């Protein structure tokens, strides 16, 4: 398919308009600045570096690997008013109870996942799993979301390598939709949706970026962002805590490989938002769920030209400017 066409996303039950010829149009829009000066290994003014003071007056320990702590400015609180609002089913409110954590990947201020050693990334994987297990074990928590915003272009206010972990007393909308679509697919086909999708990608190979014995990196058939990718485990594993030792080692390798390719694509510290989607934290088995990671990078043509979701994307449906097959080939060939 060369011309405009629409692609279906079975995970979210939505469509994406693919208009690859738009990428050849002249560009006269906004050009982003790139970071020119290297970061120091330690920044005395950074509230995430070891031994430094945070906004609350607490001092970080002299940590040497990963370090997690309660967010000093949480979007969610463990104790909230139980008051609700329901005005004829039109104006509704419900309590937004939860916990927010920050997880530093490394004591080094200047390292990203793509620059860290695989053994150090394995510590990050273990820390993700530990946070999901610990927070998901709280009696009022129904879902734990791990996510990272990298780069000022994605709204990250501190370049120190870190992510956030939000645990909520409800299942957020996107994981809830994925729960419903995967459950329906299992009931209809007796296989998990992402397992069948992975088999399709392996057989076709057009959107496969990289893989090892336990993980595959693909540009999804339904991708919205120009160089969006998905990490899929070859075994149906429902969440991060369920990963076995060799699978965690292989994931660390996959994360380094993907981030290195991103950085090499336009010769810059590649910005993105990423996150992990696993089963809800309700104690259920959820046989329809397969853990997966998603990367949403905004860069479109170069290190300074980004893709905005505006106009048609906000008023009608998602639209992308190059095919997932071309994006995968560019990442694969690096």
Flag whether 283 is in a domain.
yes
Number of domain units in the chain: 1
pLDDT at 155: 85
Flag whether 15 is in a domain.
no
Q: Kindly report the CATH number assigned to the domain that includes residue 162.
A: 3.30.428.10
Structure tokens at 318: 């998602």
Q: Is the pLDDT of residue 235 over 70?
A: yes
| Across 24-38, 165-179, 292-306, least confident range | 24-38
Region of residue 267 (phi > 0: left; psi between -120 and 50: alpha; otherwise: beta) = left
Flag whether 322 is in a domain.
yes
Residue the block writes with tokens 């160089």: 227
> How many Å apart are CA 48 and CA 42, to the nearest integer?
10
pLDDT at 157: 85
134 and 104 Cβ atoms separated by less than 8 Å: no
Question: Of 179, 130, 189, 195, whose CA–CA distance to 286 is shortest?
Answer: 179
Count of helices and strands (H, E) across the chain: 6, 14
Flag whether 186 is in a domain.
yes
Flag whether 3 is in a domain.
no
Structure tokens at 132: 């999901």
pLDDT confidence tier of residue 239, bands split at 50, 70 and 90: very high
Structure tokens at 86: 């329901």
Structure tokens at 252: 């660390």
Flag whether 32 is in a domain.
no
Question: Of 116, 135, 113, 106, whose CA–CA distance to 241 is shortest?
Answer: 135
pLDDT at 255: 98
pLDDT at 19: 84
Structure tokens at 47: 């509230």
Domain hosting residue 101, numbered range = 38-333
pLDDT single digits (tens) 309-321:
889 999 999 998 8
321 and 17 Cβ atoms separated by less than 8 Å: no
pLDDT single digits (tens) 9-58:
999 999 999 987 666 655 555 566 665 578 999 999 999 999 999 989 99
Whether 162 sits among the annotated catalytic residues: the reply is yes
Identify the active-site residue in 67, 109, 162, 288. 162
Flag whether 124 is in a domain.
yes
Mean pLDDT score, 152-166: 92
Structure tokens at 107: 């004591």
pLDDT at 52: 98
Mean pLDDT score, 252-278: 96
pLDDT at 22: 63
What is the CB neighbour count within 10 angstroms for residue 60?
18
Residue 141 half-sphere exposure, CB side, CA atoms within 13 Å?
23
> How many Å apart are CA 186 and CA 199, to the nearest integer?
15
Q: Is the pLDDT of residue 171 over 70?
A: yes
Residue the block writes with tokens 């074990």: 137
Mean pLDDT score, 261-267: 95
pLDDT at 21: 66
pLDDT at 321: 87
Flag whether 205 is in a domain.
yes
Q: What is the mean pLDDT of the chain?
A: 93
pLDDT at 301: 85
pLDDT at 32: 65
Q: What percent of the chain has pLDDT over 90?
A: 82
17 and 188 Cβ atoms separated by less than 8 Å: no
């Amino acid at each position: 398919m060369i011309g405009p066409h629409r692609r279906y996303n079975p995970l979210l039950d939505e469509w994406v308009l693919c208009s690859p010829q738009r990428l050849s149009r002249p560009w006269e829009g906004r050009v982003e600045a790139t970071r020119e000066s290297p970061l120091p290994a330690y920044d005395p003014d950074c509230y995430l570096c070891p031994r430094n003071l945070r906004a609350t007056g607490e001092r970080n320990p002299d940590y040497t690997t990963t370090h997690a702590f309660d967010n000093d400015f949480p979007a969610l609180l463990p104790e909230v008013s139980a008051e609700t609002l329901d005005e004829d089913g039109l104006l509704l409110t419900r309590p937004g109870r939860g916990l927010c954590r920050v997880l530093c990947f490394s004591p080094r201020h200047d390292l990203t996942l793509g620059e860290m050693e695989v053994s150090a990334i394995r510590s990050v994987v273990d820390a993700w799993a530990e946070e999901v297990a610990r927070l998901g074990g709280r009696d009022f928590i129904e879902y734990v979301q791990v996510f990272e915003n990298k780069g000022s272009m994605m709204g990250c206010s501190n370049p120190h390598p870190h992510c956030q972990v939000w645990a909520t007393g409800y299942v957020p909308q996107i994981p809830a939709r994925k729960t419903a679509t995967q459950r329906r697919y299992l009931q209809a086909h007796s296989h998990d949706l992402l397992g069948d999708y992975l088999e399709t990608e392996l057989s076709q190979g057009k959107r496969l970026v990289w893989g090892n014995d336990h993980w595959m990196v693909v540009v999804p058939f339904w991708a919205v962002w120009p160089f969006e990718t998905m990490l899929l485990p070859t075994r149906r594993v429902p969440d991060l805590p369920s990963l076995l030792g060799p699978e965690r080692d292989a994931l660390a390798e996959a994360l380094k490989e993907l981030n290195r390719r991103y950085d090499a694509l336009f010769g810059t510290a590649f910005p993105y938002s990423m996150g992990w989607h696993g089963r809800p934290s309700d104690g259920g088995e959820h046989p329809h769920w397969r853990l997966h990671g998603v990367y949403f990078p905004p860069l479109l043509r170069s290190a300074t030209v980004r893709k905005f979701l505006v106009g048609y994307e906000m008023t009608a449906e998602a639209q992308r400017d190059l095919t997932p097959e071309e994006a995968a080939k560019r990442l694969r060939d690096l």
